[in-house]
Amino acid sequence: MIKVNAKGHLEIGGIDAVDLAEEFGTPLYCIDEDILRKNIEEYKDGFKQIDIDIAYAGKAFLTLAMCQIIMEEGLSLDVVSGGELYTAIKAGFNLKKVYFHGNNKSVSELTMAVENGVGRIVVDNFHELGLLEDILEKHNTKQDILLRLSPGIEAHTHSYISTGQLDSKFGFGINDGSAIKAIKTALMSKRLNLTGIHAHIGSQIFALESYSEEVNVLCSFLRMVKAETGWSAKELDIGGGLGIKYNGQDEPPAISEYAQVIIDSFKRSVDEFQIKIPRLIIEPGRSIIGNAGYTLYTVGSIKDIPGIRKYVSVDGGMADNPRTALYGAKYHAVLANKADREAVEMVSIAGKCCESGDMLIWDINLPEIEPGDILAVFSTGAYNYSMSSNYNRLPRPAVVLVRDGNAKIIVKRETYEDIIRNDIMI
């Protein structure tokens, strides 16, 4: 439900969105802290009846302030690169609560993780098993690890963001025998302490039965492993992926429904396969931060091609939100300064980058629109700032955290000076 104030303006976190645009400039990422914390609460509440570790997936959106919030809420953190790990270190995050993912971690990233005492490294492949073993040998230390498995499951989402199927770059295949081989390799190592297994089947998932299937496949695999090696997993990490609502057509399950499906299938599978109950780990990203985010833009040029299309250009685009161009994502938006008015025309929202693919929204009904209007695009909290670029040398927007009528900048707007900071003249 959107909030509209007496002026007919959209309100975000108790602040008039037009005032936010005026004070901080556009494009502007806004994060509604109440929504963010409410999502986290829903996760904690949904899973309160079982022993679970909820690890926020930082790839969706990670900054120092975000680390602080995640820490304050007592969640763990999933990082996927040296850069995300560095952010967590700088924010003073408890690194024991960090899971380090990735299908091609470098020696320096793995070394950084080992030296900083990262809680779990989620090992993806045999190459990494070897690298890590060498690093641990050199450091004369041990490391808790999970093994990332590829369970061979169809997640019913966009193919670019579906990860659990057999034909995937991620993880040890359960069906081709590499998973059991990886487990035996890890169990033989004096340096690696195998605490459990991990899988992630994809992102923006609405089909909850994919999760039941995943849990079932993983538990069945654990039974086979127990029979063959005697080893029982202490931890079962089932990844993230719950979808969110981007537009009127989307009907994602509630976090509580997702939790119930996981809990039920977990109990059922543990029973069916008679395995020792492992601690469950989940890694939600999008469903924690996605709907807490809004992007504000100022409308500029408008090109009407009669009978064909009206292009409304805004002062951002694929550099701050590449998801439409990349995945055909469908966003919803309103005019923040005319949030109380009826929609009268269908337009398409274009970015300002020099290519035709730079569109934010194809075909949206909006009130009469003119240059200077403020467009607010919803559900841009996840994979927008984190996937932003300086394409066309556009400075990245600022990020403000809003709550109870107060706005705090948590990421400064980039300047032109930032744009050239690493350039060297010849």
Which parts are annotated binding residues for pyridoxal 5'-phosphate? 241, 283-286, 383
Please give the Cα distance from 71 to 85 (Å, whole number): 14
| Min separation Cβ 156 and ligand LLP, Å | 13
Least distance to ligand LLP, CB of residue 137, Å = 27
Q: Residues 147-176: x/- map of binding to ligand LLP (CB under 6 A)? A: --------------x---------------
Task: Determine if 61 is a binding residue for ligand LLP (CB under 6 A).
Answer: no
Q: Which is nearer to ligand LLP, 43 or 221 (CB)?
A: 43
The piece of 16-24, 29-37, 382-390, 399-407 that touches ligand LLP (CB under 6 A) is 382-390
Question: Hey, which residues does 403 pair with through a beta bridge?
Answer: 406
Q: Is 284 in the site for ligand LLP (CB under 6 A)?
A: yes
Annotate 251-267 with b (16+ C-beta within 10 A) or e (fewer).
ebbebeebbbbbbebbe
Q: How far is the CB of 62 from ligand LLP (least distance, A)?
A: 12
- Name residues contacting ligand LLP, limited to 113-152 (CB under 6 A): none
Task: Give phi and psi for 77, each to the nearest 5.
Answer: -135, 135
User: Does 58 contact ligand LLP by CB under 6 A?
Assistant: no
Partners of 398 in the β-ladder: 28
Instruction: State the helix-helix crossing angle for 107-115 and 82-90, rounded to 10 degrees.
Output: 30
Query: Between 131 and 244, whose beta carbon lies closer to ligand LLP?
Result: 244
- 402: Cα within 13 Å, side-chain hemisphere: 26
Of 110 and 407, CB closest to ligand LLP = 110
Q: Using the minimum distance from each CB to ligand LLP, give the nearer residue, 101 or 120.
A: 101
How many Å apart are CA 259 and CA 200, to the nearest integer?
16
Strand ranges (DSSP E) for 80-233? 98-100, 120-123, 143-150, 172-173, 192-198
In the list 178, 185, 287, 337, the residue contacting ligand LLP (rule: CB under 6 A) is 287
Q: What b/e readout covers 81-100, taking b as 16+ CB neighbours within 10 angstroms?
A: bbebbebbbebebebebbbb
| 354 among known catalytic residues | yes
Q: Interface residues for ligand LLP in 240-259 (CB under 6 A)?
A: 240-242
Binding residues for substrate: 286, 323, 327, 355, 383
Binding part of the chain for ligand LLP, among 38-46, 106-114, 247-255, 380-388 by CB under 6 A, reads: 380-388
Q: How far is CA 319 from the centre of its chain?
A: 18
Q: What are the structure tokens assigned to 39, written together?
A: 């999502």
Distance CA 371, CA 298 (A): 8
Which CB, 240 or 253, lies closer to ligand LLP?
240
165 burial (CB, 10 Å; 0-12 / 13-18 / 19+) is: middle
Q: Which residues 6+ apart lie within 8 Å of 327 measured at CB?
A: 158, 160, 161
Binding mask 62-91 for ligand LLP (x = CB under 6 A): ----------------x-------------
Q: Pick the binder of ligand LLP from 105, 200, 338, 352 (CB under 6 A).
A: 200
Distance CA 317, CA 336 (A): 17
Question: Count of residues for the chain?
Answer: 426
283 binds ligand LLP (CB under 6 A): yes
- 320 belongs to the binding site for ligand LLP (CB under 6 A): no
The answer to whether residue 323 forms part of the interface with ligand LLP (CB under 6 A) is yes
Please name the residues in contact with 353: beta carbons below 8 A apart, sequence gap of 6 or more: 317, 318, 319, 391, 392, 394
- DSSP class of residue 51? -
Looking at the Cβ atoms of 56 and 266, the one nearer to ligand LLP is 56
If binding is defined by CB under 6 A, does position 196 make contact with ligand LLP?
no
In angstroms, give the least distance from the CB of 240 to ligand LLP: 3
Among 39, 76, 204, 379, binds ligand LLP (CB under 6 A): 204
Cα 56 from chain centre: 8
Phi, psi for 145 (deg, rounded to 5): -135, 155
Q: Which is nearer to ligand LLP, 239 or 253 (CB)?
A: 239
Stretch that binds ligand LLP, among 11-19, 113-121, 235-243, 340-348 (CB under 6 A): 235-243
Active-site residues, by number, are 354
For binding to ligand LLP (CB under 6 A), which residues are involved?
Answer: 57, 59-60, 78, 101, 161, 200, 203-204, 239-242, 283-287, 323, 327, 382-383, 387
